[in-house]
Amino acid sequence: MTMKCAIYSRVSTTDQHTENQVNKLRDIAKLKEYSVVKEFTDKGISGKHGRNIRTGFDALIKGAVSKEFDMILVWSVDRLGRSLQDLISFLNEINSVGCNLYIHNSQLDSSTPSGKMLFSLLGVFSEFERSMISSRVKLGLQRAVSEGKKLGRPSKLNDGLIHSIKYMKGQGVGIRKMSRDLGVGVSTIYRVLETSEVSKWTTGTPTSDVPKVNILIQDEGTTSSLDTKKKEQKWLKI
């Protein structure tokens, strides 16, 4: 029975072409007496991206899961991803549904005993690499704590942002609109409002040495970012 196979090709930029990869893989399929039933391509997409961006790669995996083919042919391992973990994860996923992988540049074929053994070793090395990375991260965090360094993401809060939140709250602006307009999370706004009282702020003309927030204010005093022609644009001096 002829084995059904699929070809996957990818190039990182739109200036590159996949024809050379595909033509060579077609020749290999013919030599091995495989029947090419599907071809998948991602063009102008880096291998660092996941399935949600690489639509061809996503369709390839879905085809394997649906058992549309028994073998996948690729030009080189970096066509599949950018790390050993990416390769092992992909191989485990397709092997779980009975699909094999052939990598031309490495002459690796997971359907052969030697290929199975090599991919098993790659899995061991991948797990070792993950363990080493985890250990280095933990040691780095412990060292940072012992040196008195503060961990976590830097806070976006500053005096200008705090004052803007207070002012917009005083103008009756909703929490979610503040979050959208100021580019901060809802929890951040709640935290500011919970730890300080809302105060009144005046508007004025900004100066070069004063932090400012561009806020559109209607004549009635409500704040909006829509239809600038019908609203008076003012600056909040902080």
Q: What is the pLDDT of residues 175-207, one digit of tens each?
A: 888 888 888 888 888 888 887 644 443 344 444
Which residue of the set 9, 12, 35, 120 is catalytic? 12
Predicted local distance difference test score (pLDDT) of residue 213 = 45
Predicted local distance difference test score (pLDDT) of residue 181 = 83
pTM confidence score:
0.52
Helix (H), strand (E) counts: the chain = 7, 8
**What b-and-e string marks burial along 29-56, b requiring 16 or more CB atoms within 10 Å of the CB?**
beeeebebebbbbbeebebeeeeeebeb
- Please tell me the distance from the alpha carbon of residue 233 to that of residue 238, in angstroms, as a whole number: 16
At residue 77 the predicted structure's pLDDT band, cuts being 50, 70 and 90, is: confident
> Are residues 18 and 79 in contact, defined by beta-carbon separation less than 8 angstroms?
no
Q: Is the pLDDT of residue 144 over 80?
A: no
DSSP-assigned letter for residue 149? P
Domains and their CATH numbers in the chain: 4-126 (3.40.50.1390), 159-237 (no CATH)
At residue 150 the predicted structure's pLDDT band, cuts being 50, 70 and 90, is: low
Assess whether 12 carries a catalytic annotation.
yes
pLDDT digits (tens, 9 = 90+) for 92-102: 888 889 999 99
Q: Is the pLDDT of residue 75 over 50?
A: yes
The DSSP code sequence of 2-31 is PPEEEEEEEESSTTS-SHHHHHHHHHHHHH
Percent of the chain with pLDDT over 90: 22
pLDDT digits (tens, 9 = 90+) for 220-238: 444 444 443 333 444 444 4
